[in-house]
Amino acid sequence: MDNLLAPIQDALEGQIDYQGQHMAELLSTVLLIMSGAIAFLVGYIQEDIHLTLWVGLAGTVATGLMVIPPWPMYNKRPEKWLAPTSADMGVAGVMVDGVKVA
């Protein structure tokens, strides 16, 4: 059963790298500004505040669909983490205020 759920869990886990975070932030800002400007222009031309709100809501939902899920384009350059080391391998511990913590 774990073999069936592992791909779903990996897809929903939401891992993105630092460049992916930056790209998602920039993309959300640009898309929200563009959708707000388009909503304003459409509402101004049509002279309809409800249309302005609906176009703005549609732009916000579209932005959310582009930014919130962990799309693979946001995890192209994952960080290479160091392998964990155990304390019994002779690794020097961390000193905090003169006391060895680990």
Domain ranges of the chain: 8-77
Which regions of the chain are under pLDDT 70?
11, 85-93, 102
Please report, for residues 4, 13, 72, the alpha-carbon distance to residue 7 in angstroms, rounded to integers and kept in the order given.
7, 10, 14
Nearest to 70 by CA among 58, 60, 59, 78: 78
d(CA 81, CA 57): 40
d(CA 95, CA 40): 58
Place of tokens 């919130």: 68
Q: Is the pTM above the cut of 0.75?
A: no
Do residues 40 and 57 make contact, with C-beta atoms less than 8 angstroms apart? Answer: no
Structure tokens at 25: 């932030």
pLDDT score, position 8: 75
Give the three-state DSSP class for 83: coil
pLDDT score, position 14: 74
77: DSSP letter: S
